[in-house]
Amino acid sequence: MDSQKEALQRIISTLANKNDEIQNFIDTLNQTLKGVQENSSNILAELDEEFDSLYSILDEVKESMINSIKLEQARKSQELQSQLSQCNNALENSEELLEFATRSLDIKEAEEFSKAARQIKDRVTMASAFRLSLKPKVSDNMTHLMVDFSQERQMLQTLKFLPVPKAPEIDPIECLVADNAVTVAWRMPEEDNKIDHFILEYRKTNFDGLPRVKDERCWEIIDNIKGTEYTLSGLKFDSKYMNFRVRACNKAVAGEYSDPVTLETKALNFSLDNSSSHLNLRVEDTCVEWDPTGGKGQENKIKGKENKGSVHVTSLKRHTRSGTPSPKRTSVGSRPPAVRGSRDRFTGESYTVLGDTAIESGQHYWEVKAQKDCKSYSVGVAYKTLGKFDQLGKTNTSWCIHVNNWLQNTFAAKHNNKVKALDVTVPERIGVFCDFDGGQLSFYDANSKQLLYSFKTKFTQPVLPGFMVWCGGLSLSTGMQVPSAVRTLQKNENGMTGSASSLNIVTQ
């Protein structure tokens, strides 16, 4: 009976997953259909615009050529009209001279005839008819303005849609996820020397496999990539996976997207649990600050409001984290904050706040930065069973490094009320590496990756990130992968923790 129920449960789970997969595909098809309709309308509008542009250019060229012909016609006509006018004047003068010479032949007196003959000779010498060119200055040939658009017509007849670049292919083997950076590499299925650049798009998701249409974040765009790989750095890995796709572009058009690739980007994400933090700590998501007024004054205000029948939330507001919580996360966000003074809250001189996500396996890394004026703080891990009066490092259920800047400056590792002074400079940022399965808790200078101290133990219960603050504040950076430099140092330091031998202990 039980085995049949288990089998049926597996079948139900398989069917539910398949239904979810089919529904996602239906959403994809519907979105694609909508995209076809919208893109077709846009392309038709662009086509009309391009042809209108061609018509406009042809009209402008035609008008320019008509003007050229008219100008040439006017120039030649003016030249010929001028030459014609000169010829008419010369002919008129020549006819008059011819008539005068003909009459002179009838003169009988020798002296008068000689005078007339001299006049005729002088007038003939000066006559414009003998200095006039009888060749037209311009011809009637207009062939230099004729056109032959046969080649252009052939070119217009070859008008066609732009060749769209083929979809690139992302190579998952060449992609790299490390140090909170992702390098995506791709290649073209065939050589295309007209490609100008690539566009890379990515988005975070908590689903493996094909990207989902609904309930997803928007695609982020990286444009104008000249090479065939790109590195996104400085990322916060606050989702399990990231989707990537890329498209090639020539000077005018972008090609199809590549098949999307999903890369795993798991990292430890946690917030600070303000439901059990000390009253004198103001806690907001990944920041904690000492608040000397956070005790009785605020508690009395809350009680006074409660007596009037309403509860007013004071300045210690809890901010809900965005994103999907880790499967290991305790259900802190789903329960109301604990009433001040409850047994779950740290009290006394245990100015402590814990993370809201338990570490039960694997290797994890986060960083902590203290305010410059912070007088005292501790950073480490603790079991869930840490008592509300217990201070980090003073029990066998917590491990930490402690910084004291009050009265005298000290920097030490602490566990089970044992202290190991550290002869190193307190860094600006402290990196915390926790290898639960390997029983390793190490602290680093987050900038230089210098090892500050390592605990070697055997964790027998899930641990929570722990922090103590007095007169100052801390800010956390989570969603970080274990840096490559830390992994390398861990390999080198594995089994070499003699400096911490006095504090290494197995706790039950």
Q: pLDDT 10s per residue in the chain (508 long)?
A: 788 888 888 899 999 989 988 998 899 899 999 999 998 999 899 889 989 999 999 999 999 999 999 999 999 999 999 989 989 988 888 888 888 888 888 888 888 888 888 888 888 888 777 777 888 888 889 888 888 888 888 888 888 777 789 999 999 999 999 999 999 999 999 988 889 999 999 999 888 877 766 656 789 999 999 999 999 999 999 999 999 999 999 887 889 999 999 999 989 999 999 999 999 999 999 999 999 887 654 444 444 444 443 333 333 333 333 333 333 444 333 333 433 333 378 999 999 999 999 999 999 999 999 998 899 999 999 999 999 999 999 999 999 999 999 888 899 999 999 999 999 999 999 999 999 999 999 999 999 999 999 999 999 999 999 999 999 999 999 999 999 999 888 877 665 544 444 465 434 3
Give the model's pLDDT for residue 467. 97
Closest alpha carbon to 263 in 199, 211, 321, 324: 211
Give the model's pLDDT for residue 104. 86
The CATH homologous superfamily of the domain defined by 352-495: SPRY domain (2.60.120.920)
Give the model's pLDDT for residue 115. 87
DSSP letter for each residue of 292-336: TTTTHHHHHHHHHHHHTT-----S-PPPPPPSPPPTTB-TTTTSP
Count, residues in the chain: 508
Burial of 125 (0-12, 13-18, 19+ CB in 10 A): exposed
Please state whether beta strands 229-232 and 181-187 pair in parallel, antiparallel, or not at all (unpaired).
antiparallel
Whose tokens are 């999903």? That residue is 262
- Give the torsion sign (CA, 450, 456, 371, 376): negative
The CATH homologous superfamily of the domain defined by 169-264: Immunoglobulins (2.60.40.10)
Instruction: Give the integer Cα–Cα distance in Å for 98 and 293.
Output: 132
Burial of 200 (0-12, 13-18, 19+ CB in 10 A): buried
Q: List, in sequence order, every residue forming a beta bridge with 441; answer none if it has no partner.
A: 434, 455
Give the model's pLDDT for residue 354. 95
Longest dimension (CA), the chain: 164
Residues of the chain with CATH 2.60.120.920: 352-495
Give the model's pLDDT for residue 488. 87
Whole-angstrom CA distances from 49 to 44, 120, 160, 378 are 9, 77, 15, 68
25: helix, strand or coil? helix
CA dihedral 496, 498, 501, 503 (to 10 degrees): -80
Q: Element (H or E) spanning 48, and its range?
A: helix 2-104
Q: What does the pLDDT look like over 455-484, one tens digit per residue?
A: 999 999 999 999 999 999 999 999 999 999
Residues of the chain with CATH 2.60.40.10: 169-264
Q: What does the pLDDT look like over 334-350, one tens digit per residue?
A: 333 433 333 378 999 99
